[in-house]
Every structure is written in C-alpha cells, then in structure tokens.
Amino acid sequence: MSDGAPAQAQVDQAIDWLVKLRFDSPSPRTEQQFQHWLASHPHNPLAWQRVSHLSDELAGLPKDLSRRTLDTSQRQRISRRDHLKLLGLLAVGGSLGWAAREPLGLPQLLADSSTATGERRQLQGSDGSRIQLNTASAIDLRYSAEQRQLELLRGEVSLDSNPNDIRPFRIDTRVGPLATLDGQLLLRENDQGLLLAVRRGEVTLFPTSAAPRRVQPGETLQVWANGSFQAVTLHGDPWGWTDGVLSVQQMPLAEFVAELARYRPGLLRCAPEVADLKVSGTYQLADTGQILQLLSRSLPVRVEYRTRYWVSIGAA
C-alpha cells in the first residue's frame, strides 16, 4: 500500500488485541505481549490507534438512546426493504400474477366483499386496516407474510391502512397497481379509468404504460386506462360518501345527477336544458329520494317519476 495505511493483516491483529484487552480481563503477561506487538512493526501503532478509536467512539454512545434508535430503525427497515423489493418488482414486471410467484406467498383469501347499488359497507381487515366500500363495489383482500393486497374489482373503495403493520400494501386496479407502506387513500373506477385521492401517507402509482408516480396527501389524480394521469380538481369532496354524504360545490346538474344515479337502481335522467345548472351543498346519501325533492325546491327543475325506477329531471 502506497500511503502507509496498515495492511489487512495488521488491522486484523489490532482487532484481536482489542478484543482481548477491552472485552476480557487481560493478565499482565497479555499486556506485555501487546506492547511487544505494538513495537514490532512500524504500521502497528496506526492500526491500533484506528481500531481503538472505532471502539471508543461506539463505547461513547448513550446506551438507551442508541438501543432504542437501532431497534426502531431495524423494525422500520424490514418494511422499507420489502417496499423497495415490491417497487422493484412492480417496476420490472408490473403484472398481476406476482403474489403467486412469491416463495412465501400462498396468499390466503380472507375476504371477498361486495356491495349492492345504494349500499355502503365498512370492513376491518385482519391487519387492522379500515376499508369502506361504496355503492355497487367489490374488492378482494389478501394477506401474506410479506404483503397486504387489495384488488378493486369494481366501484369505489377507501382504505385507511393500519400503520402498526409493517407489511407493504399492494393495491391492484384496472389502470395498474399501487403500493403504499402506510396511507389513507380512495379509489374510484369511472368511465375514463380511475380516480385516486390520497389523504395520508405516500402512495406510489404504477400505471400500466408510464413511469411510476408518487402521490402525496391532498393530491387527487385521474388515471386513464392508457396509463397517463393528471391532477384534477373536483366539484365536490370525493371522501364525502365515507361519511354518508354527497358534498358538492358548483357541480353541474348533469354531473350531480350522474353521481346520484350511482346510488339508485333504475334510470335517472337529466334533460340537456338544465344540465349546466350548478348545485352546491351537502346531501345525506341515505335518502336519495329526498335529495331529488330538495333539488326541485332549490333549482328551477321538475322531477318527474315515470316509474319508481325511471326518473327524469327537466326544466320546471
């Protein structure tokens, strides 16, 4: 070595001496031998100095603080490594069959859940995560040793993951998979593809044919089937239904009616001449008939019931 750094052999010897002298009770004879070793090669003192400095540094760490930090980080690390692995695999393959390829996979089907039109349901996953299904929706939920997995089969779902479970969450949708370590998010299938809103945590979207994108709390994205996506501003609160309400601001009537129609069996039509009227307010989803009634009072519209399952909204 050109710069006079100790060679590996001298470092190894210095380490052996350190173990003997510092972690054992050395006899006077051992100490004598050590002094002899120290003087036996010009690079030995430097090797010794470096090795003992390392050990001094570590011995000077505050014990409780260090223990706690290392333990916590070790626990978090497991999940981060899993996440990295997950991200890596998703980015490479992006296929849906990945759970089956996991060695410890053998995912157990714990819950298949669905709701009828007009129904909303709250579920609790075996990991403690809270899941809500909106009207006419269906999901699959699977847990394995390495990951939690939710597949949105149809409709709309909100997920509030339990942060105490360190397994990463993978969410499969028709526009591609998503992954999060911990987060609160909402997914809604629509004609164009999928609406994604994030409230807490960080969610990574892996669109079928575009680069991954991290989605931060407060963001709402429309993802199209071809993998492109765009941040959107809505005419209402996408989370409203999780509290049982439809909450809108300046929403065009046609959009409002389409929204309402999701919760009602049968046909709900809006005539073109009133389609652009604006609706604002918070409406209880439990009674959509009452919402229609309220509309006819606050807007210049007439609600016409042809049958119970065929309702038209036109100009008053």
Residues lying near another protein in the complex (CB under 8 A): 2, 5, 11-12, 15-16, 18-20, 23-25, 50-51, 54-55, 57-73, 76-77, 80-81, 83-84, 87-88, 91, 204, 211-214
Token code pair at residue 173: 């949708």
Give whichever of 42 and 265 is closer to another protein, judged by the CB atom.
42
Cβ 67 to another protein, closest distance in Å? 6
Token code pair at residue 109: 């089907």
Give whichever of 94 and 314 is closer to another protein, judged by the CB atom.
94
Give whichever of 64 and 191 is closer to another protein, judged by the CB atom.
64
Q: Which long-range contacts (CB under 8 A, 24 or more apart) does 310-315 make?
A: 310/266, 310/267, 310/269, 311/264, 311/266, 311/267, 311/268, 311/269, 312/269, 312/270, 312/271, 313/253, 313/257, 313/268, 313/269, 313/270, 313/271, 313/274, 314/271, 314/273, 314/274, 315/271, 315/273, 315/274
Give whichever of 72 and 228 is closer to another protein, judged by the CB atom.
72
Cβ 201 to another protein, closest distance in Å? 14
Cβ 200 to another protein, closest distance in Å? 16
Task: Tell me the C-alpha distance between 311 and 316, whole Å.
Answer: 14
Q: Name the one residue in this structure whose structure tokens are 């149809």.
A: 154
Cβ 123 to another protein, closest distance in Å? 29
Which element (helix H / strand E) includes 304?
strand 301-307
Cβ 16 to another protein, closest distance in Å? 6
Backbone φ, ψ for residue 110 (5° rounding):
-100, -35
Give whichever of 86 and 133 is closer to another protein, judged by the CB atom.
86
Give whichever of 57 and 191 is closer to another protein, judged by the CB atom.
57
Give whichever of 41 and 213 is closer to another protein, judged by the CB atom.
213
Cβ 181 to another protein, closest distance in Å? 11
Helix (H, G, I), strand (E, B) or coil at 121: strand
Cβ 217 to another protein, closest distance in Å? 16
Partners of 141 in beta bridges? 111, 150
Pairing of strands 193-205, 121-124: unpaired
Cβ 212 to another protein, closest distance in Å? 4
Give whichever of 2 and 108 is closer to another protein, judged by the CB atom.
2
Q: What is the CA radius of gyration of the chain?
A: 31
Token code pair at residue 244: 């049982």
Query: Which residues are CB-neighbours of 92 under 8 A, at least 6 positions away?
Result: none
Token code pair at residue 152: 């949105």
